[in-house]
Chains A and B, each alone.
Chain A
């Protein structure tokens, strides 16, 4: 049995007395497209934040690429080969799209601690950033500031910043949220073009898109895993209907 890329065991997180995530166990093998489904307040984003290292769990263990990262910081996890996007777009609005991607690339290089070398002269870095923007179809507006772009373009930039780091594990938090029908198709195509050597865990509310994308689906409610299985299994499970329709 191959080592899972992401392995979560008995993970819980309480905010005061309120359980946001309760005893979640999950194994995501290499190359899998895992979808997290669930109504608002199900604990999906908290679960993501725990994996990403935004805050520590109250209980449980997280392993990424076989390494126990439960007590390791967010930046250490990223250095291992994990990248993420946010539900609420988090970019550098005063900077150009190109600069945003350069900052993403810089995060994995020793140059980030260099107090002397002019970043503007690191041509290889800027070329790579431009190539990454081309990959997501934003190279034609690379020199625009983020503030001058549309919501859909910002979503794509978020994904570009994650892809720039050539991650092996990619966490996507509602990458289609707030997009128009055309923009959704663009982002969907972009997600489908990501090679299989990248393992993806995604939160998404759009069932049609999500079901078309996912290999395995995990349905959460009240911070717990309710159903887990293949698309067919999850759709057929009466608990899924109960979670979404309340009967």
Chain B
């Protein structure tokens, strides 16, 4: 039940950089990349609830992103719902789906859980791919126009960026509160000692299920923002590669931390969108970076860097002590 590695200084630096980004980066292209990072970060944060705090490794988390995106676009652009109603129904229905998937997946643990989540995600991908009359099949579903909440013009990249950033801040705040709450602490206990937790009176299954649903809810929020950003969704949003990419973000950034998934999301999205423009085989580079992270910082970038800084601090301290004692010695002499 580690505390989140989200201390004051990195928090301030990250907040300042995130707020100033549209001024620092003048190109709309890069502001849009930042919006993609933020959306991916929300999805990664929600998956991290399962992996980092619950010890439940899922390979089907793209299900919530994809289903919420499909529902948002279908309801708003094709079924005549308003933006607010479409968004609420999409998030609500996706959360209900998470309830069902959680019920099924939590019948197993470990590798069994992983395989069930993978299978459920792939079933949805298959449905989206084959049910062309509803989902547009391989061509996907489009036609969505971005909403204008409170008169905000979300077609403006900077405004859209702040819009998704607002959701990221809310997500981090809610997840931070969750992991320090009774339920969040119980979840971390079930990750570390499930048998012990049962003996202490905890309903391990129920705690994991509630957390699974909470993670599904934030996955749905990411899906809603994904639909607004792309104004289009295809079966790719539900595919295993999207789930695996999200898993990579969490592991690369650092599981069980709040900042880790955000850093991981930035790494993967930048490599995918920016580096791929210069290097054709960008996936090889992603693989090399991931192997390097696993080798040198197996706990992930954020905890790894934190550990490195602590080691550096410890190494500099004895010198300070030696200096101080020599000064004291000089005084005595």
The 10 closest A-B pairs by CB, nearest first: A107-B201, A107-B200, A78-B201, A111-B182, A74-B198, A114-B182, A115-B183, A90-B196, A112-B186, A112-B182
| Contact present for B202 and A112 (CB under 8 Å) | yes
| Contact present for A94 and B1 (CB under 8 Å) | yes
Flag whether B180 is at the interface (Cβ < 8 A): yes
| Contact present for B199 and A118 (CB under 8 Å) | no
Flag whether A73 is at the interface (Cβ < 8 A): yes
| Contact present for B199 and A52 (CB under 8 Å) | yes
B194-230 Cβ-contact flags toward A at 8 Å (1 or 0) = 0111111111101100100010000000000000000
| Contact present for A92 and B192 (CB under 8 Å) | yes
Among residues of B, the one whose C-beta sits closest to the C-beta of A93 is B192
| Contact present for B185 and A106 (CB under 8 Å) | yes
Q: Which residues of A contact B (CB under 8 A)?
A: 52-54, 73-75, 78-79, 83-84, 86, 90-92, 94-95, 99, 103-104, 106-109, 111-120, 122, 161, 165
Which of B1, B177, B201, B203 is in CB contact (< 8 Å) with A165?
B201
The CA-CA distance from A240 to B43 in the complex, in Å, is: 63
Q: Which residues of B contact A (CB under 8 A)?
A: 1-2, 177-178, 180-186, 189, 192-193, 195-204, 206-207, 210, 214
| Contact present for A107 and B202 (CB under 8 Å) | yes
Question: A75 contacts which chain B residues (CB < 8 A)?
Answer: 197-204
| Contact present for B200 and A161 (CB under 8 Å) | yes
Which of A90, A95, A106 is in CB contact (< 8 Å) with B195?
A90
The CA-CA distance from A99 to B182 in the complex, in Å, is: 12
Q: Which of B2, B178, B183 has the most CB of A within 10 A?
A: B183
30 contacts between A and B (CB under 8 A): A54-B199, A75-B197, A75-B203, A75-B204, A84-B199, A86-B199, A91-B193, A92-B1, A92-B193, A103-B185, A103-B186, A106-B182, A106-B186, A112-B182, A112-B183, A112-B202, A113-B186, A113-B210, A114-B181, A114-B182, A114-B183, A115-B178, A115-B181, A115-B183, A115-B214, A117-B182, A118-B177, A119-B180, A120-B180, A165-B201
Question: A116 contacts which chain B residues (CB < 8 A)?
Answer: 177-178, 181
Contacts A74-B199, A117-B182 given; 7 further ones with Cβ under 8 A?
A: A52-B199, A75-B203, A91-B193, A104-B200, A106-B182, A112-B183, A113-B207
Among residues of B, the one whose C-beta sits closest to the C-beta of A95 is B1
- B233 to chain A minimum Cβ distance, whole angstroms, is 29
Question: B192 contacts which chain A residues (CB < 8 A)?
Answer: 92, 94
Question: A112 contacts which chain B residues (CB < 8 A)?
Answer: 182-183, 186, 202, 207
- A186 to chain B minimum Cβ distance, whole angstroms, is 23
The CA-CA distance from A117 to B183 in the complex, in Å, is: 9
- A162 to chain B minimum Cβ distance, whole angstroms, is 9
- A106 to chain B minimum Cβ distance, whole angstroms, is 6
- B206 to chain A minimum Cβ distance, whole angstroms, is 8
| Contact present for A90 and B193 (CB under 8 Å) | yes
Question: B202 contacts which chain A residues (CB < 8 A)?
Answer: 75, 107, 112
Once A111-B182, A112-B182, A115-B214 are accepted as A-B contacts, the answer to whether A165 and B196 lie under 8 Å apart by CB is no
Q: Which of A107, A108, A112 has the most CB of B within 10 A?
A: A112
Which of B1, B182, B199, B207 is in CB contact (< 8 Å) with A78?
B199
Which of B180, B182, B193, B198 is in CB contact (< 8 Å) with A113?
B182
The CA-CA distance from A91 to B199 in the complex, in Å, is: 12
Question: B2 contacts which chain A residues (CB < 8 A)?
Answer: 94
Question: B204 contacts which chain A residues (CB < 8 A)?
Answer: 75
- A173 to chain B minimum Cβ distance, whole angstroms, is 11
Once A107-B201, A108-B201, A165-B201 are accepted as A-B contacts, the answer to whether A113 and B183 lie under 8 Å apart by CB is yes
The CA-CA distance from A75 to B202 in the complex, in Å, is: 5
Question: A95 contacts which chain B residues (CB < 8 A)?
Answer: 1
The CA-CA distance from A111 to B202 in the complex, in Å, is: 11
Q: Which of B184, B192, B196 has the most CB of A within 10 A?
A: B196
